[in-house]
Chain A
Amino acid sequence: MEKVLSDKRIITLYVLPGLLLIIGLIYVPIIQTAYYGLMKWDGIGAKEFIGLENYKTLIKDDIFWKTAYHSFLLAVFSALSLIIYLLISIVLAGKIKGADFFRKIYLIPMLLASVAIAQLWLKIYHPTNGILNTLLGSFGVDNPPSWLADPKIVLYAIFIPILWQYAGFYILIYYAALKNIPESLIEAARIDGATAWQIALKIKIPLIMNVIKVTIVLAVVGSLKYFDLIYVMTDGGPNGASEVMASYMYHKAFRGFDFGYGSAIGFFLLVICLVVTWLIRKLTAAKEEITY
């Protein structure tokens, strides 16, 4: 049996197609991105090697740092929203009838295309016929802000659909983790006189800390990659107030035809994603594994 199960021919036949695809379409392009980042290139003509020139420009590019700051803000908002999701999940995972129904309802926005979500929220934010301003009007707010046209507000306005879209995803993850906690542990704490609040804070949250860490990574790295929603809702506007790293890269390369500079941004984005993933894991590394 050993011999059959280590048949090199079969292993190659089974692994190679998938491996070639991810090497060809994910890993080789990353190396190319790093390489193109050293070029002056309009995407059509010849590439001209200019060394680290694009990266020097990048470091001095105020607009790039503004987009990085926007991405950073969205990452912070996303991480903070995890607290809300966690609280809802703790409520949901208590003895709630219909918990399954609720978490499924919450999940629906997450299944829709970001493009459709963006179009829908453009309508929700519509100055005269959207539901938001109509609702505010009925509460007596006659002069609501122009949500997506005001550079000071636009990033917050864009974050609301993001909050809406991902709520069900994180609640689902937390709910599953909370349901995995043995009931006996919680029962024991209850008998000892712990309040529901204490049980949540001192028992439930520490026990699912590993899952919480993973969700922090997912939320932060995910928000560094936001593109579709912003591209459709504001296209980075007004005047760059909602431009993020991914959309800036896209605009530089596919509209400005500066593929060399776009590649430098793309590579920078990759490095940031990997570093942030590593950093969060390091910072939140468990001192000891929790086992029940």
Chain B
Amino acid sequence: MKTEAKQRIPSVSVDNRLEVFSHPAMQKASKGILYVILAIVAVFQIFPIVWLFLFSLKNNQEVFNMSPFSIPTDPKWENYAKVWTEGNISQYFLNSVVYTVAAVILTVILASMVTFAITRMKWKLSNLALGLFMVGLMIPVHSTLIPLFSTFTAINLVDNPLSVILSYTAFNLPITIMILLGFYQALPREVEEAAVMDGASLNRIFFRITLPMTSPVIATAAIINMIYNWNEFVFVNTFISSDQYKTLTVGIQNFIGQYTTDWGAIGATLMISILPILLAFLILSNRIVEGIASGSVKG
């Protein structure tokens, strides 16, 4: 291929110099360079995670005496078993699952109800209500943290999972409504209107017709919510003090604090904490891509 390109160059006159670049061989070469760049970016993005997996299977001797790039000769799966049984990781994991699932269900149902009322029903204040939800997107969590903490303390919700679940729900409602809104607006109303004509109640229409019809976007919104909740840190770190209620993000902080020199244990803990997200990504990558795109730039 290269020689072919070289042979052609002398025959191209100066005026047509640009034509060299549109020569098929040249195009192939530049396309090749582009692929190399894209591949380097891909390696940069993915390699740290692969490396994490590698050292999660090593013991300290391998970590400290061998190259960090080496493949563990005798994978120490027991690192995973150890952190799972010692040091509350299984408890943290369970808490993460419970809070995430509870908040996702609550958020998706409440957001669907709000979106239904805003797009399907006729009322004067609907734009104001929508505006309140959308402005909520811009509020930094940290500006609400101190009052939330003092209020939860006052009503005895501090160190109670409910404080976390309610906070997750409130702060995810705006983005969830934003994701749902586009789908609701594009969805034809004929089916719902026909049901109204037939005398079905709005509750029945919402639960029997609208929710099932919007299930694709509900799945998208749910997976985005799941990722946010699973990864949340500052609410749990602020509101929860007992080990029994902590989630993985906060729990691994404590745990790693105790095991600062045991790389295998740290690696296994981190792998356990990111595994559900990686699995979700493997199965639902299209929905995640769609959710992130529709939840970010519609402003």
Known: A92-B38, A109-B49, A164-B45. A26 touches B69 (CB 8 A): no
**Contact across chains for A113 and B132 when beta carbons are under 8 A apart:** no
Known: A4-B196, A22-B136. A33 touches B230 (CB 8 A): no
Which residues of chain B in 244-287 are interfacial with respect to chain A, using CB atoms and an 8 Å cutoff? 248-250, 252-253, 256, 263, 266-267, 270, 273-274, 277-278, 281, 285
Query: What interface size band does chain A fall in?
Result: 35 or more
Q: Is B208 an interface residue (CB 8 A)?
A: no
What A residues does B253 contact at CB under 8 A? 115, 232
Query: What interface size band does chain B fall in?
Result: 35 or more
| Smallest Cβ-Cβ distance to A2: which chain B residue | B122
Q: Is A177 an interface residue (CB 8 A)?
A: yes
Q: Is A147 an interface residue (CB 8 A)?
A: no
What B residues does A168 contact at CB under 8 A? 45
Which residues of chain A in 199-225 are interfacial with respect to chain B, using CB atoms and an 8 Å cutoff? 211, 214-215, 217-218, 221, 224-225
**Contact across chains for A214 and B145 when beta carbons are under 8 A apart:** no
Q: How far is the CA of A218 from the CA of B140 in the complex (A)?
A: 12
What A residues does B167 contact at CB under 8 A? 25
**Contact across chains for B140 and A15 when beta carbons are under 8 A apart:** no
**Contact across chains for B252 and A119 when beta carbons are under 8 A apart:** yes
Which residues of chain B in 25-65 are interfacial with respect to chain A, using CB atoms and an 8 Å cutoff? 34-35, 37-38, 41-42, 44-49, 51-52, 55, 63-64
Chain A at the B interface: SS class: helix
Contact of B146 among A109, A262, A273 (CB under 8 A): A262
**Contact across chains for A15 and B263 when beta carbons are under 8 A apart:** no
What B residues does A2 contact at CB under 8 A? 122
What B residues does A172 contact at CB under 8 A? 289, 292-293
Interface string of B102-120 (1 = CB under 8 A from A): 0000000011011011101
Q: How far is the CA of A228 from the CA of B142 in the complex (A)?
A: 11
Q: Is A73 an interface residue (CB 8 A)?
A: no
Interface string of A249-292 (1 = CB under 8 A from B): 11001100001001100110110011001000000000000000
Give 10 A-B pairs besides A172-B289, A231-B233 with Cβ atoms closer than 8 angstroms: A11-B123, A91-B37, A96-B38, A119-B252, A119-B270, A123-B55, A164-B44, A177-B297, A273-B143, A274-B138
Please, could you name 23 A-B residue pairs with CB atoms under 8 Å apart, sorted by A?
Answer: A5-B121, A5-B202, A6-B123, A22-B173, A36-B147, A92-B38, A94-B34, A107-B289, A108-B49, A113-B233, A113-B274, A131-B51, A172-B292, A227-B142, A228-B234, A249-B142, A259-B150, A263-B146, A263-B147, A266-B144, A266-B145, A269-B140, A273-B139
Query: Closest 8 interchain pairs by CB?
Result: A32-B147, A113-B231, A25-B170, A29-B144, A29-B147, A270-B143, A14-B113, A14-B117
